């Protein structure tokens, strides 16, 4: 399927989203931040200092994972939603599909959205977001909080969070990052494999078109600057470099669907092994808690040990359950001809648009 590189078109970056759109992933999507093999790659802190020239900064370091959408984990669920044609959406200001979780940040959002709307790519992203919000009947909710990375889209809570450092930044430095995260929101409606490296390639392509259209550069030494320096010079080298940063994301580009599926199955087996080990550790902790109670120790002491030793294991088990559910969902999707072809077409389009950016 031939895809335009015209980023003003809603189909330019999300070719499959608005035509007979696939089911929408639940807001309780993978812990966009903690999906073991399917973890989330978070954007680096807004206040990041210069990175050593000989050691690439990895966005996924903060999430201890290789990932997907900059966000947090949850189980997948089918929630089909047909996105209306543009003519079916009432005329409204661009960005009307976005809403801050806290009213004190409304002015900040307005300034960043206004900056984003001043770019061709930004207008496309905002139009698509507004249409998606209209189709869902709910706004895309944002918060600003000290999260230690530039931004993340949390699929478990369906919440887009930008680091509080953006409140003090020039909106032109925040708008491209917001566009990156909003592209992840749009990807959720496209029924694609959740660990595909192409999801990040696409979001960086969108982000860097916005940087270029604004005529500004990311802060020197930031991960965003490293990414921009690479994607604007040689898209293929950028893709290889990005794969090194998001080590657990699986690229279809340069490989085959059979190889993709094989790696996904390997990831699922690893998740299941981790879950089994965690259950054994949990059983041992429970025995210790029982011994503490039998020994007459206070409830305060027992509770302290429970919080210290048991709660982290319970969180790990919840993450394993979510990760396994996502891997199983993706394997089911890729077992169907329609799902396989949709992913192939998406991957080809993403690479084509990244290359077009490096040639522009």
The tokens describing 113, both together, are 């959205």
**Does residue 18 sit within a domain?**
no
Domain-located, residue 195: yes
- The model's confidence at residue 57, banded by pLDDT at 50, 70 and 90, is very low
148 — pLDDT class (breaks 50, 70, 90): confident
Tell me whether residue 319 is in a domain: no
Q: Is residue 87 included in any domain, yes or no?
A: yes
- Give 256-297 pLDDT, tens digit per residue: 999 999 999 999 999 999 999 999 999 999 999 999 999 999
Q: For residue 61, is pLDDT > 70? A: no
Specify the pLDDT at position 85.
52
Q: What is the pLDDT of residues 188-240, one digit of tens each?
A: 889 999 999 999 999 999 999 999 999 999 999 999 999 999 999 999 999 99
Query: What digits encode the pLDDT tens for the residues 289-339?
Result: 999 999 999 999 999 999 999 999 999 999 999 889 989 999 999 999 999
What is the chain's mean pLDDT, rounded? 81
In a domain? residue 314 = no
Task: Give the residue-averaged pLDDT of 31-35.
Answer: 31
Lowest mean pLDDT among 13-17, 166-170, 210-214, 349-353: 13-17
Indicate whether 234 belongs to any domain: yes
DSSP notation for 16-32: TTSSSPPPEEPSS-S-B
Report yes or no on 3 lying in a domain. no
334-352 pLDDT tens trace: 999 999 999 999 999 999 9
Q: Is residue 26 pLDDT above 60, yes or no?
A: no
Q: Is the pLDDT of residue 152 over 60?
A: yes
Other C-beta atoms within 10 Å of 103: how many? 8
pLDDT value of residue 330: 96
Assigned token pair, 286 = 């429970």
* β-sheet bridge partners, residue 98: 140
Question: The pTM is what?
Answer: 0.76
244 domain-assigned: yes
Residue closest to 254 by CA, chosen among 242, 266, 272, 265: 242
Structural domain tally of the chain?
Answer: 1
What are φ and ψ of residue 60, in 5° steps?
Answer: -75, -10
Domain that holds residue 137: 24-255+338-359
For residue 152, list its beta bridge partners. 161
């Amino acid at each position: 399927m031939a895809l335009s590189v015209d980023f003003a078109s809603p189909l330019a970056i999300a070719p499959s989203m608005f035509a007979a759109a696939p089911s929408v992933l639940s807001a309780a999507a993978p812990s966009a931040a903690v999906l073991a093999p399917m973890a989330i790659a978070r954007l680096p802190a807004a206040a990041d200092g210069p990175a050593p020239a000989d050691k690439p900064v990895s966005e996924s370091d903060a999430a201890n994972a290789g990932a997907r959408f900059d966000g947090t984990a949850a189980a997948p669920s089918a929630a089909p939603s047909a996105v209306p044609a543009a003519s079916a959406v009432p005329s409204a200001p661009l960005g009307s599909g976005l809403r801050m979780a806290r009213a004190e940040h409304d002015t900040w959002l307005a300034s960043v959205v206004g900056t984003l709307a001043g770019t061709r790519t930004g207008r496309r992203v905002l139009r698509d977001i507004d249409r998606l919000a209209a189709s869902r009947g709910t706004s895309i909710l944002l918060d600003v909080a000290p999260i230690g990375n530039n931004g993340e889209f949390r699929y478990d809570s369906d919440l887009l969070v930008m680091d509080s450092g953006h409140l003090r930044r020039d909106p032109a430095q925040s708008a491209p990052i917001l566009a990156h995260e909003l592209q992840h929101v749009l990807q959720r409606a496209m029924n694609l494999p959740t660990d595909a490296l192409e999801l990040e390639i696409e979001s960086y392509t969108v982000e860097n078109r916005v940087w270029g259209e604004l005529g500004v550069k990311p802060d020197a030494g930031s991960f965003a600057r490293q990414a921009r320096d690479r994607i604007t010079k040689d898209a293929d080298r950028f893709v290889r470099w990005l794969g090194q940063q998001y080590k657990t994301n699986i690229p279809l580009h340069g490989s085959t669907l059979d190889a993709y599926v094989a790696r996904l199955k390997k990831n699922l087996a690893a998740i299941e092994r981790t879950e089994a080990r965690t259950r054994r550790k949990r059983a041992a902790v429970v025995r210790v808690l029982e011994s503490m109670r039998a020994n007459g120790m206070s409830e305060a002491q027992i509770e302290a040990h429970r919080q210290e030793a048991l709660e982290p294991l319970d969180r790990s088990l919840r993450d394993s359950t979510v990760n396994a559910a996502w891997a199983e969902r993706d394997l089911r999707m890729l077992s169907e001809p329609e799902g396989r072809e949709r992913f192939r077409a998406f991957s080809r389009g993403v690479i084509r648009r990244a290359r077009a950016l490096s040639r522009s």
